[in-house]
Structure 1
Amino acid sequence: GTNGQFRPNEDLTREGVAAIVNNMLGEDTPVAATNFSDVKGRWSERAVSSLVDKQIMKGYSNGTFKPQQKVTREEFAVIAYNYMNYKGMSSSKTAVPYADENKISPWAKNGGRYAGSRWLYDGS
């Protein structure tokens, strides 16, 4: 939580997801320098650096990470897909098509298909 609170109605941010996924890895992550101008010195710097180094999350082409930006469903699907690949988990199940699959961004297609095949999102 934040300041001892869970905040159940608050949206997840990119840095929040980075912290959660980094904790799920359960690896001792050394503090590494980050090239993201908007992450240096933030509470999430170590988690962000770790996940970028492991290619689970990425920053933006302008050199930022946008740590306080909300995470969309397609972004989370890509993060889950990259996490599973990093952990060596199979993503070979048959993809479940979505009625609005044509609306999934090209960069998120694999993550979206993976989310469907793993029932991370059931389309409801």
Structure 2
Amino acid sequence: GFAGTGGFKDVKGHWASEAIDKVYGNRTVAGYPDGTFKPNQNITRAEAVTILNSVFNRYTTVDSLANVSVSSLNTFSDVSKGFWAYYQIIDAANAHTSQKVTTASDEEVWK
């Protein structure tokens, strides 16, 4: 893992603070833009998919789909392209093979 703590405003003293710091240090979670983690809040589908994709080193972006017929992909009527986790959800909902863009990049290109 990577050293580091999230420094989240709402984690200090929480029973899971050590585990939260570990998954943050491993770059599995990032927390919310306001500097919180919300450890007592239910996790959403989008958040779960984002975490699992991170664990499995899956990083899909708009550029990842350049070689794919987007119309053939599994999509969801309640998830628009503008949604922050759209590509995370597309990645998890569609079987595919991919290749990293470069060895220094996490981004993948679907084949």
Do the structures match in fold with TM over 0.5? yes
Cα drift, residue 105 of structure 1:
5.6
Paired residues, number: 86
Equivalent residue for 2:99?
none
In the TM superposition, 1:1-80 aligns within 5 A as 33-80=5-52
Take 2:30 and 2:7, find their aligned partners in 1: how far apart are those partners? 12
CA RMSD between the two structures: 3.0
Cα drift, residue 65 of structure 1:
0.7
Compare the two structures and name the one with the higher helix fraction.
1
Compare the two structures and name the one with the higher strand fraction.
2
TM-score by length of 1: 0.54
Take 1:90 and 1:34, find their aligned partners in 2: how far apart are those partners? 21
**Unpaired stretches in structure 2, ≥5 consecutive residues:** 96-111
Report if aligned partners of 1:77, 1:111 keep a CA contact under 8 Å in 2. Answer: yes
Take 1:78 and 1:90, find their aligned partners in 2: how far apart are those partners? 9
Q: Provide closer, same or farther for how the CA distance between residues 99 and 64 of structure 1 changes in structure 2, counting only shifts above 3 A.
A: closer
Instruction: Percent identity, please.
Output: 28
Take 1:102 and 1:35, find their aligned partners in 2: how far apart are those partners? 31
Q: Provide closer, same or farther for how the CA distance between residues 64 and 33 of structure 1 changes in structure 2, counting only shifts above 3 A.
A: same
Report if aligned partners of 1:38, 1:64 keep a CA contact under 8 Å in 2. Answer: yes
The answer to whether residue 84 in structure 2 is matched with residue 97 in structure 1 is no
CA deviations on 1:11-52 (whole Å, 9 max, x unpaired) are xxxxxxxxxxxxxxxx7x98x644112111211111111111
Which amino acid in the other structure matches residue 62 of structure 1? D
Equivalent residue for 1:13?
none
**Unpaired stretches in structure 1, ≥5 consecutive residues:** 1-26, 119-124
